[in-house]
Structure 1
Amino acid sequence: MTSGRSTRAPGVVVVTGVSRFLGAHVAARLVADPRVGRVVGLDPSDPVDELVPLLTGVERVRADPGSVGSIIADLHADAVVHLALATAPDKQNGGRAAMKEQNVIGTMQLLAACQRAPGLRKLVVRSSTAAYGASFRDPAVFTEDTEPRAVPRGGFARDILDIEGYVRGFRRRRPDVTATVLRFAPFIGSIAETTLTRYFAQPVVPTVLGRDPRLQFVHFDDALEVLHRSVVGEHPGTFNVAGPGVLALSQAIRRAGRIAVPVLEPGLSGAAGVARLLGFGRYSLDQVDLFVHGRVVDITRLTNEYGFTPRSTAAAFDDFIAGHPDRTVLGPTQLALAEQAILDGIRQVRATVRERS
């Protein structure tokens, strides 16, 4: 049962980014709620095959946030849920420039369309705790009112700051619309598939020498619950969404049954190369800074407003482990390749330092 202020459930909900994991699951959950009339998914791309069954009952429109124009007004949308954010650049699809175009310009144009929709009553925007950055100047715990102590290095974090700035402007122009911004900690869980889950799924996990940052996660199912409640309830404001408690990086690696390989901080790019060689993806500066400094947020405002507390960070991480039972370490050939790649990365860093000195 949804807690919070009573409100009439929206008749038409528009969800952006339904071709992706998060958007598809949110749209499916809303379709299953008899209080919601119609769910319309906006996305320029078709979903992958495994997500198609989730979208049964979702009216799909091929459009990105930047080209919605009058679609939202024509649909007489009561609520818009904006989830179409890229968290890392994709070199095959335009790299950082395309990522910023989608995140920043796309959000700006979507909000312009929302502003012109006279019947809109609710806006829910996916944000991230990356908005706080990650540096040695950080407080022990961030609240929603804490300003970043340094400009984030990562592109995604900078995009988030721009997006939230646009939402603040929208709130001033449309005070009649309930605007909810959800700053999610990194998703984790048995079915979540992210850069972070791939990081912890590696048999050999690179860490920064001398650092053991404190981390927080939010279980994917709990993220869905908060998003759902934001749509069918009345929750204006900005909220941190994370599991209570923390895990040190070393604890998380041990729980996952993996092997930690400490490297020099500049050499983490070499360790990321190992991940690419072994098929585990890539890291952005947002992830690198998180692995160096960590980040912990306060969720008091969330629990008070929603009457809901996500499961703990440790419990969410344990569910991730249960969903990834393969604990096989690297074989001799892969281990030799991994060790050599890490050593090469460290040697390159040392060579660069000598040249500059």
Structure 2
Amino acid sequence: MTRTVLVTGVRGHVGARVAAALAGDPEIGRVIGVDTAPPPAPRGRGGEQDGPVPGRTEFVRVALRGPDLTRVIRDADVDTVVHLSLVSGSGRAGGTGGGRPAMKEHNVIGTMQLLAACQRSATVRRVVVRSTTAVYGSSPHAPAVFTEDTEPVEVAHHGYARDATEVETYVRGFARRRPDVTTTTLRFANLMGPGVDSPLTRYFSQPVLPTVLGFDPRLQFVHEDDAVEVLCRTAGADHPGVFNVAGDGVLLLSQCARRTGRPVVPLPSPAFRLAGGLARGARLVDFSPEQLTLMSHGRAVDTARITAELGWRPKYGTAAAFDDFLRSRAVPGGPGHLPLAAVDWLADLLTKR
């Protein structure tokens, strides 16, 4: 029986959901959620708050970079750690509030501190880490489908992908130093769902969708419900190794755009990057360099390993996950208002610039 689970990043939507789901599992004795702020109430399908977080999660206000984490793990006899605290965007998107330096410190230094606390613990026996398929990168020279053993064609040099690559390096080092601890690394495709707030969901929520002229990248999504289920399954039993997690199938960016009903503005690559920089500076969309690359070359991964390991398939394919996200983000006023909204969006972008 899993006695005590510690979940990091519980102020995030997925972290809060995972903690609540684990707390509702009768096979788990105790769930402790740690973060710098308490978890929010779960979001409804339109993004509204639905009331108090269910379950019996105990919240402890702790910064990963601080010294108190070791004490929390020791005093609670934690045997399972689920690390969900990586943020994918600086500023408003990531919640770090200090731009890219604070994001890197939170993601990389925070994970180092957490793993150091786990290494010193005499009770920790299982560590689950949320990573991302962004570690594979996006490149015109990349394979059609990445497996867990595929080496990236181009090493990430910045942003969330770089942080995740460094985090996975530290996880491998921890696994070598503590072979008695089961380590699981889950590389998630881009999350989609009613409660997901990410650079990509904000991109698809804009009234106009700029794209890169001449490119139609393949995209893969995983629904938040499936992500929560995989995290709970790997937290409750030993599943060592690295696993890709994504919904079945792919969507082309053009197919996604048609589903949104929003106008598309194809731009030459330099102009697309300029628009991305303007949008990021105006805090409209977090167009990080890795997002810009994804919008040119896309990415798809193989999920056979996680299917074989868990005997499980996601309830939502890539298309179904995206459609569920769109249903929750209906545009007020309907499609007839989109052209005017697009003009307003572009005017706001240029004015803020």
1:202 Cα deviation after fit: 1.7
Q: Deviations over 1:16-41 (max 9, x none)?
A: 11111111111000011111110001
Bigger Cα Rg: 1
TM-score when normalising by structure 1: 0.88
Q: Deviations over 1:146-193 (max 9, x none)?
A: 111112244110001100000000111111111100000000023322
TM-score when normalising by structure 2: 0.89
1:70 Cα deviation after fit: 2.7
* Contact preservation (8 Å) 2:250, 2:319: yes
> Does residue 113 of structure 2 align to residue 109 of structure 1?
yes
* Contact preservation (8 Å) 1:263, 1:342: no
Give, as a single letter, the amino acid of the residue that structure 2 aligns with 1:60: F
Separation (CA, whole Å) in 2 of partners of 1:332 and 1:252: 18
* Contact preservation (8 Å) 2:207, 2:341: no
Give runs of aligned pairs for residues 1-357 of structure 1, distance below 5 A: 8=1, 10-48=2-40, 50=49, 53-54=52-53, 56-67=55-66, 68-90=69-91, 93-272=97-276, 280-310=284-314, 311-326=316-331, 327-328=334-335, 330=337, 334-338=341-345
Aligned residues: 337
Aligned residue number for residue 45 of structure 2: none
3-state SS of 2:65 partner: helix
3-state SS of 2:335 partner: coil
1:65 Cα deviation after fit: 1.8
Separation (CA, whole Å) in 2 of partners of 1:121 and 1:153: 33
3-state SS of 2:179 partner: coil
* Contact preservation (8 Å) 1:44, 1:62: yes
C-alpha spacing 1:169/1:125, structure 2 compared with 1 (3 Å): same
Name the stretch that deviates more: 196-205 or 102-111. 196-205
1:62 Cα deviation after fit: 0.9
* Contact preservation (8 Å) 1:24, 1:51: no
* Contact preservation (8 Å) 1:204, 1:330: no
Q: Which runs of 5+ in 1 are unaligned?
A: 1-7, 349-357
Q: CA RMSD in A?
A: 2.4
Percent identical: 51
Separation (CA, whole Å) in 2 of partners of 1:187 and 1:329: 29
Give, as a single letter, the amino acid of the residue that structure 1 aligns with 2:100: R
C-alpha spacing 1:281/1:170, structure 2 compared with 1 (3 Å): same
C-alpha spacing 1:253/1:300, structure 2 compared with 1 (3 Å): same
* Contact preservation (8 Å) 1:183, 1:241: yes
1:234 Cα deviation after fit: 1.8
3-state SS of 2:322 partner: helix
C-alpha spacing 1:154/1:263, structure 2 compared with 1 (3 Å): farther
Q: Which runs of 5+ in 2 are unaligned?
A: 42-48
* Contact preservation (8 Å) 1:207, 1:263: yes
Q: Deviations over 1:220-257 (max 9, x none)?
A: 10000000100112211000000111000000110121
